[in-house]
Copies of this chain bind each other. A is one copy, B any other.
Amino acid sequence: MTQPLRLGIAGLGTVGVGVIRMVQRHGEMLATRAGRPISISAVSARNRDKDRGVDLSGYAWEDNAADLAARDDVDLVVELIGGIEGSARETVEAAIAHGKDVVTANKALLAIHGHDLATKAEAAGLALRFEAAVAGGIPCVKALTEGLAGNKIERVMGVMNGTCNYILTRMESAGLPYETVFAEANDLGYLEADPTLDVGGIDAGHKLALLAAAAFGIRVDFDAVRLEGIERVTIDDITHAADMGFAIKLLGVAQLTGRGLDMRMSPCLVPLASPLGQLHGATNMVVFEGDAVGQIVLRGAGAGEGPTASAVMGDIVDIARGLRLPVFGVPADQLRAETRANTGAPSPYYLRMDILDKPGALAKIAACLGEAGISIDRMRQYDHADTNAPVLIVTHKAGRTELDAAIEAMARTGVLASEPVAFRIEQIGE
């Protein structure tokens, strides 16, 4: 048997412990699969004394994660610290500087510094892999950069924040308002310390930016992702959407349009009968559309000890087997800096607003759409007890720029009682 691949594990939270458990439990199986033993030389975390329920006595300890990189008995640094700057970035930089391969689960780090880190790793002939950073246990980065390498990718979509999908499906199944379910999720420990990372779409946006880079051969550009959180989705929206055959999901979509790269992470209506529409709870789903393969759907757990450790270990086994691949599937120096599309491809929109209950109000709203060149597919005014009338409009295909112009014009009519909510209806085959 050849030389072992010796790991240094930086960060001993849930995922770090999961990786250690996997090495301890499945050592023989991993060696058979990888063609060489996978061992752990050293670990690092903030608190040495904490009981993590796993035996660390066989591993050296480093107080400073970046020092793992300098150890002669470490071949590969597993970065599971998290965060865009600080220890996580220093550790990855140090690993590359010391000629160590890197596996990370850190979506935020790569969404911001991914191009720089990929450039450095590739210049040093090192692997930098991040399967666990996107959609947890689903081997989607591998599917995209390897299995589908023969395809021109046309669109990437994903429900990649389990917490948001949990909130939306729980609102639907229990008929509870957003605020209540948000509080529940918080009590259950599902939310990040800064919940905006989840419900504001930032975490999922990081993942989308990484997938888009690999899908289209472009530089990671998180700032180009138009983010819209789920805070404004109401039970009424969910019910109206279901009436029309749609579910509402925090959906990431990336595609190259004639006007450049369009990336959005926003609440969208998707067909109830589609795999995305059927996705309940905290499960994640990624959809790739390629010119040859058509639509490929991948579904699985997006977070948690086992699934995330599974993804980390897949990367480790790849490296143990000698797989060498550019970080984003094509060499970093050939990744294009893609123009950002000012607006996405036209699509139908779902609009919901309250208008003042007086003669001619609805006509004024409809006129604003017409003047922006947007035609109406369906319009409903609902029963109401107070002086404001809830109105629901589904448009035919419209550009977002035109839609925003129409919404601005509506505000000037003086008949709106609330700011309109506009959700894109993403067109997806079933």
Give every chain B residue within 8 A of A32 (Cβ-Cβ).
217, 330-331, 334
Within the oligomer, what is the number of copies of this chain?
2
Asked if A390 CB lies within 8 Å of chain B CBs, one says no
A297 CB contact (under 8 Å) in B299, B316, B323, B330: B299
Contact, CB under 8 Å: A293 / B146: no
Contact, CB under 8 Å: B323 / A306: no
If A296-B298, A301-B293, A307-B292 touch, whether A142 touches B146 (CB-CB below 8 Å) is: yes
Asked if A300 CB lies within 8 Å of chain B CBs, one says yes
Interface bits A152-178 vs B (CB < 8 Å: 1, else 0) = 100000000000000000000000000
Give every chain B residue within 8 A of A53 (Cβ-Cβ).
none
Give every chain B residue within 8 A of A30 (Cβ-Cβ).
149-150
Give every chain B residue within 8 A of A309 (Cβ-Cβ).
150, 292
Contact, CB under 8 Å: B310 / A301: no
Q: Which of A55-63, A72-80, A131-139, A232-240 contacts B (4 or more CB under 8 A)?
A: A131-139
Give every chain B residue within 8 A of A305 (Cβ-Cβ).
292
Instruction: Tell me how far the C-beta of A129 lies from the nearest C-beta in chain B, rounded to whole angstroms.
Output: 11
| A312 to B317 CA separation, bound complex (whole angstroms) | 23
Give every chain B residue within 8 A of A322 (Cβ-Cβ).
322-324
| A293 to B325 CA separation, bound complex (whole angstroms) | 24
Contact, CB under 8 Å: A293 / B307: yes
Give every chain B residue within 8 A of A146 (Cβ-Cβ).
139, 142, 146, 314, 317-318
**Chain B: which residue is nearest A318 at the CB level?**
B146
Asked if A313 CB lies within 8 Å of chain B CBs, one says yes
Instruction: Tell me how far the C-beta of A303 lies from the nearest C-beta in chain B, rounded to whole angstroms.
Output: 11
| A326 to B33 CA separation, bound complex (whole angstroms) | 8
A296 CB contact (under 8 Å) in B35, B137, B329: B137
Instruction: Tell me how far the C-beta of A289 lies from the nearest C-beta in chain B, rounded to whole angstroms.
Output: 10
User: For residues 346 through 395 of chain A, which have their beta carbon under 8 Å from a beta carbon of chain B?
Assistant: none
| A311 to B147 CA separation, bound complex (whole angstroms) | 7
What 6 new A-B contacts, CB under 8 Å, besides A29-B152, A139-B147, A142-B146?
Answer: A151-B310, A280-B430, A290-B310, A291-B306, A292-B309, A297-B300
